[in-house]
């Protein structure tokens, strides 16, 4: 079922349909002509467990590259679902796992979600992200050799860390997330893009050192520090033009590294 900016969205788990919810339009960005999309909730296998995830497909004839979307400390949110849809509009199959599934799923209260995020085990996060990649590779609508990852805040740090653990990734994007240690970064194979905020010294002050370490290891990591904005500026900002510029750079990076290479 395609969407054209309005209508209905089927919420399904696997083949079963559990309900209907109103479709939320994706904010426009400066990019090539948008695809109509189909989005739903699914579950995928991770070890002996299954993980809830939100997936969005572009309507296109050929198989598409794919992007794993890693949420912030707030867990699965409207922003993450809208980001998943935004990527699908630009031609990517996008999958956002709820990494709090093993803790009962993202709770309605933000403070509760943050507390649960702090309890997550790094190896289990990697297992669940590997499960997301395996699920995408199993889909005929996906080009299994063209998978990237993007994350925001806590998820940005996880995107950076996952790039150290999955050599098959073709691209990774870090949105105001911290870098892993230098030894781990040497394992990265994919090119990376960093999106950082000027008014976010806690994160941004450490970026030059991380970029230098990656360059010394022969890795391609380019980043931009966007002026006049703070942490989380892609979620909400009083400078929407800056956010739009950053989004356009992200989409261009994914197209260059997932679609054309």
Q: What is the CATH number of the domain that holds 199?
A: 3.40.50.1820
The answer to whether 72 and 152 have CB atoms below 8 angstroms apart is yes
Burial class (CB in 10 A: 0-12, 13-18, 19+), 108: exposed
In this predicted structure, the answer to whether residue 29 has a pLDDT above a threshold of 60 is no
CA-nearest of 42, 72, 75 to 57 is 42
Tell me if the pTM is above 0.85: yes
Residue 241 counted as domain residue: yes
Residue 2 counted as domain residue: no
What share of the chain in percent tops pLDDT 90?
84
Q: What is the pLDDT of residue 32?
A: 59
Residue 3 counted as domain residue: no
Residue 174 counted as domain residue: yes
Residue 1 counted as domain residue: no
Residue 14 counted as domain residue: yes
* Sign of the Cα pseudo-torsion (42, 46, 47, 49, in order): negative
Q: What is the pLDDT of residue 1?
A: 39
Q: What is the pLDDT of residue 34?
A: 85
Q: Which residue range(s) make up the domain with 119?
A: 8-259
Q: What is the mean pLDDT of residues 250-261?
A: 91
Q: What is the pLDDT of residue 21?
A: 29
**237 confidence band (pLDDT: 50, 70, 90):** confident
In this predicted structure, the answer to whether residue 13 has a pLDDT above a threshold of 70 is no
Residue 65 counted as domain residue: yes
| Cα 209 from chain centre | 24
Q: Number of structural domains, the chain?
A: 1
Mean pLDDT of the chain: 89
Residue 111 counted as domain residue: yes
């Amino acid at each position: 079922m395609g969407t054209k900016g309005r209508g209905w969205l089927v919420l399904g788990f696997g083949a079963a349909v559990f309900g209907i919810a109103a479709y939320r339009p994706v904010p426009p960005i400066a990019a090539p002509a948008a695809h109509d999309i189909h989005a739903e909730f699914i579950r995928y296998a991770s070890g002996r467990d299954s993980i809830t995830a939100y997936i969005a497909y572009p309507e296109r004839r050929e198989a598409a590259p794919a992007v794993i979307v890693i949420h912030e400390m707030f867990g699965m949110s409207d922003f993450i679902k809208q980001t998943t849809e935004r990527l699908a509009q630009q031609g990517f199959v996008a999958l956002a796992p709820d990494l709090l599934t093993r803790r009962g799923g993202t709770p309605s209260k933000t403070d509760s979600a943050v507390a649960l995020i702090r309890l997550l085990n790094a190896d289990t996060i990697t297992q669940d992200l590997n499960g997301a990649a395996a699920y995408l590779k199993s889909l005929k609508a996906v080009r299994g050799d063209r998978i990237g990852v993007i994350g925001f805040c806590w998820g940005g740090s996880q995107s950076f860390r996952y790039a150290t653990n999955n050599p098959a990734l073709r691209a990774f994007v870090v949105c105001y997330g911290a870098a892993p240690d230098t030894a781990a970064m040497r394992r990265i194979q994919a090119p990376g893009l960093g999106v950082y905020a000027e008014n976010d010294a806690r994160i941004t002050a450490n970026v030059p050192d991380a970029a230098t370490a990656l360059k010394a290891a022969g890795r391609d990591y380019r980043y931009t520090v966007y002026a006049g904005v703070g942490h989380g500026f892609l979620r909400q900002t009083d400078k929407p033009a800056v956010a739009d510029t950053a989004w356009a750079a992200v989409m261009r990076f994914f197209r260059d590294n997932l679609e054309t290479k």
